[in-house]
Amino acid sequence: MNRVACDKRGATAVLFGVSAVVVVGMVGLGTEGGSWYVTKRDAQNAADTAAYAGAVRLSVAQGTLAQTLAAAQTQAVATARDTATRNGFTSGAASTTVTPNTPFGGNNTAVEVIVQRSTPRLISNLFLTGDQVITVRAVANIQSNGNACILAIPGSAGSRVDGQLSVGGSSTVSAPACVLASNSTAADAIEIFGNGGVSAETLVSAGGCDGCGSATLQRPPTTGAFPTTNPFAYLNNKALPSSYSCYTTPVYAPAGGVSTVDISKTFNDSVVIPPPPAAAAGGSQPALCGLKMTGGTVTLTPGIYYIYNDDLTMNGGTLQCRMATNPPSANGLPCSGGAGVTIIFTGSPVSKIGGPKITGGSINLVAPTDAHLVSTGGDRDYAGLLFFRDPRATDPTVKITGNGTIVLTGAMYFPNSDVDYRGNPDSTGCTILIGGSISISGNSGLAVNGCEAAGYGNVVPKLQIVRLVE
């Protein structure tokens, strides 16, 4: 018996048998854990890609395609789901759920994507119950990357304008504190030709940039960029008054008293024009049926001016904004404190919608600020806006090329219009031009470095980049 008790033959086999269970179990758990890690890594890659793609689509839908925010968000969600599917995570299949969210955290420019996948347990089922649930998330955000003072935007379906920004001939554009941008995807979305010269912070194009090597820039031009934001895109769907009546009186002489000048005819007198009153319930909106100047001085007091079925034509004279007096006169101080004017071009039929046609004279106009409109109960949709042309207009031509001094503080929005522009604003001011296609002629200057201080920060087009932030 002692000999049997001391016999150690086969002990190794017993020890191996006992330890093998542990070893195999640990290997199994390691393999299973590795599988979870691979799944989580793949899911995170899918979530990151889906969130980024969704944010890109959100940017493009609002910029290049001019979709409403709601429509753009719907497209962003669909794009995020499709991108996750292309990366192996289809919502509703293989115990997988993909949940895109936009807006996220109150941010209309953010897209969140949550990817979740359940996997059955193998060896770990000996210790834990239920499937292993792997959950990851990613957030991509559209962020600002600079301010633009000129933005060309492609026209809506059927429009003749293509969103090109061109500088040619002997033109010189001075915009050292802002960006010149185009949301066109064409190869020549921005074009500098002939002896055209540009001095700007940079040039940014959703398409290409032809001749941009000749520009003097603070940072290199960008092509194939995300579309620059259009802060007035919502006006494309704004309901304007349905009917209008010609507003011819009262028009005041500069020193007070009613004038007999017909402002819809060509004249060179000096007059003061208060804004037409709001339409009475169920009535027509009083509007200026044209304003044509060859000389003299036209003083506008703060408010909204509709120009119906005609142009604002200037071959000479002075157009200015002055604070209201009673009775209205040209003796008021220059518009200040956020007070200003907004001029809206509309008409019926749409072929008669006019626009600015300024080839001479001097202009000094200022737009109302949002803070001023809030305090006075004005229409905040027109905050920061000097000129707005009804996007239904079929004649695309807008011309602001006066040989005199053109100082325009605020924004000009001409969707679906070809714009020929030459202006020389205060270099420390705020002048923003957004049009369907923009041609710069002569010596021109624009600036946005004074927009924030002047209360117009909400109307500055923003360059965009997409970043993963979570």
DSSP helix/strand/coil, 353: coil
pLDDT at site 378:
92
Q: Are 160 and 186 in contact (CB under 8 A)?
A: no
- Residue 468, CA distances (Å) to 44, 91, 156, 228, 465 in order: 12, 22, 31, 19, 10
H/E stretch holding 203: strand 197-205
Please confirm whether the linkage preceding 103 is cis (ω < 30° from 0): yes
pLDDT at site 28:
53
- Rounded distance, CA 290 to CA 309, Å? 7
pTM: 0.79
pLDDT at site 355:
93
Question: Per-residue pLDDT for the chain (470 aa), expressed as one digit of tens each?
Answer: 566 555 555 556 655 555 555 555 555 556 666 777 888 898 899 999 999 999 888 887 776 666 777 888 889 999 999 999 999 888 888 788 899 998 888 888 889 999 998 887 666 665 556 677 889 999 998 887 788 889 999 887 667 788 899 887 667 777 777 888 999 989 999 998 877 778 888 899 999 999 888 888 888 888 988 888 888 988 988 999 989 998 876 778 787 777 777 777 877 788 888 898 888 887 899 999 888 988 889 999 999 999 999 999 998 899 999 998 888 888 889 999 999 999 999 999 989 999 999 888 888 999 999 999 999 999 999 999 999 999 998 877 888 886 667 888 999 999 999 998 876 544 457 889 999 999 887 667 677 777 888 888 888 888 888 888 88
* Radius of gyration in angstroms for the set of CA atoms belonging to the chain, rounded to a whole number: 32
- Sorted by sequence, the CB contacts under 8 Å of residue 15 that are 6+ apart come out as none
Q: Is the dihedral of CA 40, 43, 45, 48 positive or negative?
A: negative
Q: Are 321 and 366 in contact (CB under 8 A)?
A: yes
pLDDT at site 307:
94
pLDDT at site 375:
94
pLDDT at site 425:
47
pLDDT at site 3:
63
Q: Are 442 and 417 in contact (CB under 8 A)?
A: no
**φ/ψ (deg, to 5) at 39:** -65, -40
Please confirm whether the linkage preceding 254 is cis (ω < 30° from 0): no
pLDDT at site 17:
58
